[in-house]
Amino acid sequence: MKKAPTDAIVQIEGHIVDSDILSEVFDLIIKGGGKFEIRDFVIGKTNIETSVAQLRISAPTKEKLNLLLNLLNAKGCFVVTEQAATLKRALKDQAVPDDFYSTTNFRTEIRLNGRWIRVTNQRMDGVIIVTGGKAAVRKLREVTKGELVVCGLNGVRVHPEFKSRERGDFSFMSNEVSSEKKVSLAVDKVAEMIRKRQGKLVIVGGPVVIHTGAVESLCRMIRGGYVGGLLTGNALAVHDIENALFGTSLGVDTSAGTPVDQGHRNHMRAINQINLAGGIKNAVRRKILRSGIMYELVKAKVPFVLAGSLRDDGPLPETITDMNEAQAAYAREIKGAEMVLMLSTMLHSIATGNMLPAWVKTVCVDINPSVVTKLADRGSSQALGIVTDVGLFCHLLADRLCKQ
Amino acid sequence: MKKAPTDAIVQIEGHIVDSDILSEVFDLIIKGGGKFEIRDFVIGKTNIETSVAQLRISAPTKEKLNLLLNLLNAKGCFVVTEQAATLKRALKDQAVPDDFYSTTNFRTEIRLNGRWIRVTNQRMDGVIIVTGGKAAVRKLREVTKGELVVCGLNGVRVHPEFKSRERGDFSFMSNEVSSEKKVSLAVDKVAEMIRKRQGKLVIVGGPVVIHTGAVESLCRMIRGGYVGGLLTGNALAVHDIENALFGTSLGVDTSAGTPVDQGHRNHMRAINQINLAGGIKNAVRRKILRSGIMYELVKAKVPFVLAGSLRDDGPLPETITDMNEAQAAYAREIKGAEMVLMLSTMLHSIATGNMLPAWVKTVCVDINPSVVTKLADRGSSQALGIVTDVGLFCHLLADRLCKQ
Amino acid sequence: MKKAPTDAIVQIEGHIVDSDILSEVFDLIIKGGGKFEIRDFVIGKTNIETSVAQLRISAPTKEKLNLLLNLLNAKGCFVVTEQAATLKRALKDQAVPDDFYSTTNFRTEIRLNGRWIRVTNQRMDGVIIVTGGKAAVRKLREVTKGELVVCGLNGVRVHPEFKSRERGDFSFMSNEVSSEKKVSLAVDKVAEMIRKRQGKLVIVGGPVVIHTGAVESLCRMIRGGYVGGLLTGNALAVHDIENALFGTSLGVDTSAGTPVDQGHRNHMRAINQINLAGGIKNAVRRKILRSGIMYELVKAKVPFVLAGSLRDDGPLPETITDMNEAQAAYAREIKGAEMVLMLSTMLHSIATGNMLPAWVKTVCVDINPSVVTKLADRGSSQALGIVTDVGLFCHLLADRLCKQ
Amino acid sequence: MKKAPTDAIVQIEGHIVDSDILSEVFDLIIKGGGKFEIRDFVIGKTNIETSVAQLRISAPTKEKLNLLLNLLNAKGCFVVTEQAATLKRALKDQAVPDDFYSTTNFRTEIRLNGRWIRVTNQRMDGVIIVTGGKAAVRKLREVTKGELVVCGLNGVRVHPEFKSRERGDFSFMSNEVSSEKKVSLAVDKVAEMIRKRQGKLVIVGGPVVIHTGAVESLCRMIRGGYVGGLLTGNALAVHDIENALFGTSLGVDTSAGTPVDQGHRNHMRAINQINLAGGIKNAVRRKILRSGIMYELVKAKVPFVLAGSLRDDGPLPETITDMNEAQAAYAREIKGAEMVLMLSTMLHSIATGNMLPAWVKTVCVDINPSVVTKLADRGSSQALGIVTDVGLFCHLLADRLCKQ
Q: Is the pLDDT of residue C319 over 90?
A: yes
Distance from B373 to chain A by nearest Cα, in Å? 15
Look at residue C371 in the predicted model and tell me its pLDDT.
82
> Helix B390-401 to helix B215-223 angle, to the nearest 10 degrees?
30
* pLDDT bracket for residue D344 (50, 70, 90): very high
Judged by a CB distance cut-off of 8 A, whether residue A311 touches chain B is: yes
* Start-end of CATH 2.40.420.10 domains in chain D: 82-164
Topology adopted by domain B82-163? 2.40.420
Distance from D196 to chain C by nearest Cα, in Å? 30
Average pLDDT, integer, range D238-247? 95
* Start-end of CATH 3.40.50.10690 domains in chain C: 169-401
pLDDT tens digits, one per residue of C12-38:
887 776 666 777 787 788 777 788 777
C92 → closest Cβ in D276, D310, D354: D276
Q: Which CATH architecture has domain C82-165?
A: Beta Barrel (2.40)
* pLDDT bracket for residue A164 (50, 70, 90): very low
Contact D389 A389 (CB under 8 A): yes
Q: Is the pLDDT of residue C165 over 50?
A: no
- Count Cβ–Cβ pairs < 8 Å, chain B vs chain D: 54
Q: Scanning every residue of chain A, which has its alpha carbon at the shortest distance from the alpha carbon of B316? A: A141
Query: CB of C326 within 8 A of CB of C333?
Result: no
Judged by a CB distance cut-off of 8 A, whether residue C322 touches chain D is: yes
Judged by a CB distance cut-off of 8 A, whether residue A371 touches chain B is: no
Alpha-carbon distance values, B267 to B247, B292, B348 (Å): 11, 15, 21
Q: What is the DSSP letter of D114?
A: T
Contact B323 A321 (CB under 8 A): yes
Look at residue C166 in the predicted model and tell me its pLDDT.
35
The rounded distance, in Å, linking the Cα atoms of C130 and C156 is: 13
Query: CB of D318 within 8 A of CB of D302?
Result: no
- Which residues lie across from B127 on neighbouring strands? B138
pLDDT tens digits, one per residue of A363-385:
999 998 888 877 776 555 577 88
Mutate to test the interface with A, among D181, D389, D393 (most CBs of A within 10 A): D389
Q: Scanning every residue of chain D, which has its alpha carbon at the shortest distance from the alpha carbon of C309? A: D323
B180 → closest Cβ in C189, C211, C255: C211
Contacts of C402 (CB under 8 A, 6+ apart): C220, C221, C223, C224
Q: Scanning every residue of chain C, which has its alpha carbon at the shortest distance from the alpha carbon of B257? A: C185
* pLDDT bracket for residue C352 (50, 70, 90): very high
B186 → closest Cβ in C208, C257, C367: C257
Look at residue A199 in the predicted model and tell me its pLDDT.
93
Alpha-carbon distance values, D365 to C31, D204, D234, D369 (Å): 36, 10, 20, 9
Look at residue C71 in the predicted model and tell me its pLDDT.
83
Look at residue A5 in the predicted model and tell me its pLDDT.
53
Question: How much is the ipTM here?
Answer: 0.85
DSSP-based three-state secondary structure for D374: helix
The rounded distance, in Å, linking the Cα atoms of D396 and D403 is: 11
C22 → closest Cβ in A17, A35, A370: A17
* pLDDT bracket for residue D175 (50, 70, 90): very low
A contact chains, 3+ CB pairs < 8 A: B, C, D
Report the range of poorest mean pLDDT among B202-206, D320-324, D350-354, D367-371. D367-371
Judged by a CB distance cut-off of 8 A, whether residue C248 touches chain B is: no
Chain B residues with CB under 8 Å of C185 CB are 213, 255-257
DSSP-based three-state secondary structure for A137: strand
Report the range of poorest mean pLDDT among C100-109, D152-161, D186-195. D152-161
A102 → closest Cβ in B264, B276, B321: B264
B56 CB burial (10 A radius; 0-12, 13-18, 19+):
middle
Look at residue C380 in the predicted model and tell me its pLDDT.
52
Look at residue B28 in the predicted model and tell me its pLDDT.
82
Q: Scanning every residue of chain A, which has its alpha carbon at the shortest distance from the alpha carbon of C162? A: A23
Contact B276 A311 (CB under 8 A): no
Average pLDDT, integer, range C98-127? 92
B contact chains, 3+ CB pairs < 8 A: A, C, D
Mutate to test the interface with C, among B174, B176, B179 (most CBs of C within 10 A): B179
* pLDDT bracket for residue C43 (50, 70, 90): low
Contact A184 D395 (CB under 8 A): yes
Report the candidate in C345, C80, C57, C363 with the shortest Cα–Cα distance to residue C194.
C363
Look at residue D234 in the predicted model and tell me its pLDDT.
98
Contact C276 D95 (CB under 8 A): yes
Average pLDDT, integer, range C184-191? 91
Contacts of B379 (CB under 8 A, 6+ apart): B104, B105, B358
Average pLDDT, integer, range C371-386? 73
**Strands of the sheet with B156-159, listed across from one edge:** B115-118, B107-112, B156-159
Judged by a CB distance cut-off of 8 A, whether residue A82 touches chain C is: no
Contact B389 C391 (CB under 8 A): no
Report the candidate in D159, D134, D138, D142 with the shortest Cα–Cα distance to residue D358.
D159
Q: Is the pLDDT of residue D161 over 70?
A: no
Contact A30 C17 (CB under 8 A): no
* pLDDT bracket for residue C163 (50, 70, 90): very low
Q: Which CATH architecture has domain A82-166?
A: Beta Barrel (2.40)
Position with higher pLDDT, C157 vs D143:
D143
Chain D residues with CB under 8 Å of C312 CB are 323, 327
Look at residue B164 in the predicted model and tell me its pLDDT.
40
Provide the whole-model pTM.
0.84
The rounded distance, in Å, linking the Cα atoms of A305 and A302 is: 10
| Residues 153 through 212 of chain C touching chain D, CB cutoff 8 Å | none
Q: Where are the beta strands (DSSP E) in A271-352?
A: 304-307, 337-343
* Start-end of CATH 3.30.70.2690 domains in chain C: 1-81
The CATH classification number of D82-164 equals 2.40.420.10
DSSP-based three-state secondary structure for A99: coil
Contact B310 A324 (CB under 8 A): no
Chain B residues with CB under 8 Å of A321 CB are 322-324
Contact A98 B351 (CB under 8 A): no
Chain C residues with CB under 8 Å of B258 CB are 172
B30 → closest Cβ in D17, D43, D166: D166
Report the range of poorest mean pLDDT among C71-85, C209-223, D331-345, D353-367. C71-85
Judged by a CB distance cut-off of 8 A, whether residue D45 touches chain B is: yes
pLDDT tens digits, one per residue of D30-81:
777 788 777 766 666 555 667 778 888 888 888 888 888 888 888 888 887 7
D18 CB burial (10 A radius; 0-12, 13-18, 19+):
buried
> Among A386-390, C56-60, D374-378, which range has the highest average pLDDT?
A386-390
> Among A49-63, A182-196, C1-15, which range has the highest average pLDDT?
A182-196
Q: Scanning every residue of chain A, which has its alpha carbon at the shortest distance from the alpha carbon of C19? A: A23
% chain D with pLDDT above 90: 57
Q: Which amino acid is at C324?
A: N
Judged by a CB distance cut-off of 8 A, whether residue D286 touches chain C is: no
Chain B residues with CB under 8 Å of D369 CB are 370
* pLDDT bracket for residue D17 (50, 70, 90): low
D22-61 as b/e, with b when 16 or more CB fall inside 10 Å?
bbbbbbbbbbbebebebeebebbeeeeeebebbbebbbee
Judged by a CB distance cut-off of 8 A, whether residue D37 touches chain B is: yes
C contact chains, 3+ CB pairs < 8 A: A, B, D
Distance from D24 to chain B by nearest Cα, in Å? 7
Distance from B392 to chain C by nearest Cα, in Å? 7
C260-295 as b/e, with b when 16 or more CB fall inside 10 Å?
bbbbbbbbbbbbbbbbbbeebbbbbeeebbeebbbb
Look at residue A149 in the predicted model and tell me its pLDDT.
97
Q: Is the pLDDT of residue D334 over 90?
A: yes
Look at residue D163 in the predicted model and tell me its pLDDT.
47
Residues in chain B predicted with pLDDT less than 70, given as ranges, are: 1-5, 17-20, 40, 42-49, 82, 161-181, 258-264, 377-381, 404
* pLDDT bracket for residue D288 (50, 70, 90): very high
Look at residue D1 in the predicted model and tell me its pLDDT.
39
Q: Residues D159, D165, D166, CA angle at the centre, nearest 5°?
A: 115
Q: Supply the mean pLDDT for chain A.
A: 86
Mutate to test the interface with D, among B12, B18, B50, B166 (most CBs of D within 10 A): B18
The CATH classification number of C1-81 equals 3.30.70.2690
The torsion region of residue B110 among left (phi > 0), alpha (psi -120 to 50) and beta comes to beta
- Count Cβ–Cβ pairs < 8 Å, chain C vs chain D: 142
Chain A residues with CB under 8 Å of C46 CB are 35, 37
Which run of H or E residues covers position B56? strand B51-59
Chain B residues with CB under 8 Å of D20 CB are 20, 23
Chain C residues with CB under 8 Å of B391 CB are 182-184
* Start-end of CATH 2.40.420.10 domains in chain C: 82-165
Q: Supply the mean pLDDT for chain D.
A: 86
Contact B141 A307 (CB under 8 A): no
Q: Helical H runs in C16-75?
A: 21-31, 62-73
CATH of A169-401, picked from 3.40.50.10690, 2.60.120.380, 3.30.420.40, 3.55.40.20, is 3.40.50.10690
